[in-house]
């Protein structure tokens, strides 16, 4: 990108900017009310009051009880805690089988791989060509030894919303726990843990204009995943480590603002997405929308541009100040094609020709049109090189 050139951000699935109002609510807990929330003196008590208020608000917003909400360092920790902790706890009951979907975030898949190395039986739930896990496929994998089923609420690469309620019901009928990673879904779907059927559910503040490095894990009363982080007795003895008070305050403030504006923001972003797709399909031939026909989040568009290399496409977009992605930011350094797209049946070649655009509440129609026009120019240029 040349100095002084405009910049446009189309990578909101990777992270979002910290909301200014949220930052102002966090600021006092860096400079004035800076106490350790577990200290017994007045500084500590002031910090703990802020944590308790944040916990109460988050619980209310997701339909949980305050003692069912645990604060973590983010989605990766929450996913690991839910999957590893639940698996270890269920093993004590003779349940040593875990089922995870084939399109989970790498945090969940890596946890599952660790369990395999430790002797657990791990099965991977396939998805159809639209990127959806299906109940009959899960039914075929369930056994009496299955202690946990983990299926994300919405995919971070395609935006495809999973039938998590039906999957949770099936898991419970089998006597299995159900965990859903709602990190990508939380900004756009109103969470109700009882209605969703989740025994455990994770989300992360930086996906909805909150601070990085702070997340939450809902754990239904009666479910007791093993402790993942050894240390002190923070978080009711379930998670060691000094609480990140400013970020906990920020998570609650950001999520409350997100829920309050969800309907309006979703409508705006859905409109931007529709405008973008109309322009793309009008100006570019040989384009496929991945996840077409499925229920998808309003924010994410995953497109396969026939005959291009996505790394070259990203590089050229970035040279002109437009940020997009080839998939999950957590796997952006990988030379492997997207595991999500190949699980949906795409060839490795097509997966390497696929790009994720993810829009946010601050994007404008003018940015959308500029980005689509630029994409058309770059696709044309890259295809001409291949002739």
The domain in which residue 181 lies consists of 20-260
Domain co-membership, 302 together with 247: no
Of 260, 287, 322, at which residue does a domain stop? Answer: 260
Say which of 275, 330, 331, 374 is annotated catalytic.
330
The number of distinct structural domains making up the chain is 2
| Global confidence as pTM | 0.94
- Residue 160 above 70 pLDDT? yes
Whether residue 128 contacts residue 82, with contact meaning beta carbons closer than 8 Å, is answered with no
- Say yes or no to pLDDT of 234 above 90: no
Provide the token pair at 357: 């655009």
Last residue of a domain, one of 260, 284, 310: 260
Q: Is 236 left (phi over 0), alpha (psi -120 to 50) or beta?
A: left
Q: Is the pLDDT of residue 329 over 70?
A: no
- Tens of pLDDT, residues 261-290: 999 999 999 999 999 999 999 999 999 999
Please indicate, yes or no, whether residues 273 and 256 belong to a single structural domain of this protein: no
In angstroms, the CA 372 to CA 360 distance is: 16
Summarize pLDDT for 50-79 with one digit per residue, the tens. 999 999 999 999 999 999 999 999 999 999
How is residue 65 written in tokens? 């009880």
- Mean of the per-residue pLDDT values for the chain? 95
Q: How far is CA 370 from CA 230, 274, 367, in A?
A: 50, 14, 5
Q: Are residue 96 and residue 245 in the same domain, yes or no? A: yes
Do 267 and 242 reside in the same domain of the chain? no
Is 330 among the residues known to form the active site? yes
Judge whether residue 296 has pLDDT over 80.
Answer: yes
Q: What is the pLDDT of residue 2?
A: 55
CATH number at residue 275: 3.90.1150.10
Confidence of residue 6 (pLDDT cuts 50, 70, 90): confident
pLDDT of residue 240: 83
Which two three-digit tokens encode residue 316?
A: 């050229």
Which CATH number do you get for residue 124? 3.40.640.10
């Amino acid at each position: 990108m040349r100095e002084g050139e405009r910049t446009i951000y189309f990578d909101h699935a990777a992270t979002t900017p910290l909301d200014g109002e949220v930052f102002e609510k966090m600021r006092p807990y860096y400079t004035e009310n800076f106490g350790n929330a577990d200290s017994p003196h007045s500084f500590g008590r002031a910090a703990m009051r802020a944590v308790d208020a944040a916990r109460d608000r988050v619980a209310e917003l997701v339909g949980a009880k305050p003692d069912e909400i645990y604060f973590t360092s983010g989605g990766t920790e929450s996913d690991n805690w839910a999957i590893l902790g639940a698996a270890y706890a269920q093993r004590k009951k003779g349940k040593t089988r875990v089922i995870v979907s084939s399109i989970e975030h790498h945090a969940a898949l890596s946890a599952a791989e660790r369990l395999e190395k430790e002797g657990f039986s791990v099965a991977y739930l396939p998805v159809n060509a639209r990127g959806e896990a299906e109940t009959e496929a899960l039914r075929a994998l369930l056994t009496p030894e299955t202690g946990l089923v983990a299926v994300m609420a919405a995919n971070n690469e395609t935006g495809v919303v999973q039938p998590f309620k039906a999957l949770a019901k099936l898991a419970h009928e089998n006597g299995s726990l159900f965990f859903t990673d709602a990190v990508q879904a939380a900004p756009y779907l109103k969470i109700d843990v009882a209605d969703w059927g989740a025994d455990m559910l994770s989300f992360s503040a930086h996906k909805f204009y909150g601070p990085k490095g702070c997340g939450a894990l809902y754990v239904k009363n009666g479910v007791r995943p093993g402790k993942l982080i050894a240390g002190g007795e923070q978080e009711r003895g379930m998670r060691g480590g000094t609480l990140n008070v400013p970020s906990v305050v920020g998570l609650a403030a950001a999520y409350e603002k997100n829920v309050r504006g969800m309907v309006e923001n979703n409508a705006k972003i859905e409109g931007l997405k529709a405008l973008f797709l109309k322009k793309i399909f009008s100006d570019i031939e040989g384009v496929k929308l991945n996840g077409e026909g499925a229920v998808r989040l309003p924010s994410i568009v995953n497109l396969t541009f026939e005959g291009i290399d996505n790394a070259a496409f990203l590089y050229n977009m970035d040279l002109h100040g437009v940020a997009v992605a080839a998939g999950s930011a957590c796997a952006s350094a990988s030379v492997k094609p997207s595991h999500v797209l190949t699980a949906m049946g795409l060839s490795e070649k097509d997966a390497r020709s696929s790009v994720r655009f993810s829009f946010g509440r601050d994007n404008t129609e003018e940015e959308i049109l500029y980005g689509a026009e630029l994409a058309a120019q770059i696709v044309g240029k890259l295809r001409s090189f291949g002739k």
